[in-house]
Amino acid sequence: MHQLKIWLVLVSVWIILASTYPTIKIAVETIPPILLVGIKGTFGGLMLLLIFKIYTFKIEKRENKQNIRHLLTRDHWKLLTIIAIFFVPGSQVLLAYGEQYLTSDFSVLVYSTIPIWTILLGIIFYGLRINKFTMLGIMIGTIGLVILIYPSLEELISGNQNTSVRFDLFGILAILIAAISWSSGSLFSKKAELPKSILLSSGMWLLIGGLISLVISIIIGELDNFELSQVSLNSFASLLYLATVAKVGLATYFWILRKTTATLANTFAYAAPAISVILSWAIFSEAIDLRMLIATIIILSGVIIIVNKDRIHTRRAANK
């Protein structure tokens, strides 16, 4: 695949997914977090399926064909349901839960272990072989992330109780499981025999995951004290963004995942927090100091190494 095309798609995914950090921060001010995940997943899935329907209709009309659609088989439904569970309730819902008990930068650190888990799980379950440059890139990216959230780590280690840092075991475990679940979903979807259409596949797992999340929200009682009138205009606008633009970003991420490797696709876990710092500065006027700039440069350097030297293959593929 042409290197320039990879870069253009990757950067667009990084920016879109990075924008979800400050956007979610605004949305959850007046919308319960799991309900938010359910709404944006359901609406986003329906939107992608509608785009797929319109696209295939135009092709059918132009080519005068009646059966050009990538129909969903029973196996497709099973595979997409598994992927939906990994990505949405298994990752996004647990992330939303865990963020209630931790500071945002510490949450980002835990969740940004996705590339590491992708490699570890890939080696154990899928026989992935890792190029030394990929390992170097991941190590550099991890160092950059630690520098990025160092103040919170320092306060956490020192045990200073006069700060806003909240160390909660359940929150950490929730986000850690969320990161592992996302990595598992990435690896699983790489091997799954899914419909050829990225729009159809992405729309289906988003819709299924969104509906499951809505059920979870109802079961745990998020709707008991929730009133539609309490949703602010800013939260509603953020929800609309998350359900549309952000979901197009997820579909693009899924495209990268299907066309390249899980490690390359999950570089967003390193790049997005760094870009999010810049977006938070632009949106919330949050200060950017020299440490943040250095961390961002280090993170992006690690990502550049991974993008240019990514040579992950399964042993099965190597034997073919």
Q: What tens digit of pLDDT does each residue of 10-48 get?
A: 888 888 888 887 788 788 889 999 999 999 999 999 999
Question: Please, is 153 exposed, middle or buried when counting C-beta atoms within 10 Å of its C-beta (0-12, 13-18, 19+)?
Answer: middle
Q: Residue range 211-240: average pLDDT?
A: 93
Q: Residue range 45-73: average pLDDT?
A: 69
Q: Quick one: the chain helix, strand, coil %, rounded to 5?
A: 80, 0, 20
Q: Which residue has the tokens 């995951």?
A: 209
pLDDT number for residue 234: 92
Q: Residue range 252-277: average pLDDT?
A: 81
Q: How far apart are CA 124 and CA 116, in angstroms?
A: 12
Question: β-strand 128-129 against 313-314: which pairing, if any?
Answer: antiparallel
What is the phi-psi region of residue 127: left when phi exceeds 0, alpha when psi lies from -120 to 50, beta otherwise? left
Instruction: Count how many residues are written for the chain.
Output: 320
- pLDDT at residue 137 is higher than 60: yes
| Mean per-residue pLDDT of the chain | 80
4-29 as b/e: b if 16+ CB within 10 A: eebeebbeebbbbbbbbbbbbbbbbe
Q: Which residue has the tokens 């988003």?
A: 206
- pLDDT at residue 231 is higher than 90: yes
Q: How far apart are CA 295 and CA 139, in angstroms?
A: 13
Query: How many C-beta atoms lie closer than 10 Å to residue 81's C-beta?
Result: 15
63, two tokens: 């080519």
Q: Which residue has the higher pLDDT, 316 or 283?
A: 283
Query: For 153-158, which contacts have Cβ atoms below 8 Å and span 24 or more sequence positions?
Result: 153/106, 153/109, 156/106
Give the pTM.
Answer: 0.79
Who contacts 211 (Cβ-Cβ below 8 Å, separation ≥6)?
A: 38, 41, 42
pLDDT number for residue 80: 95
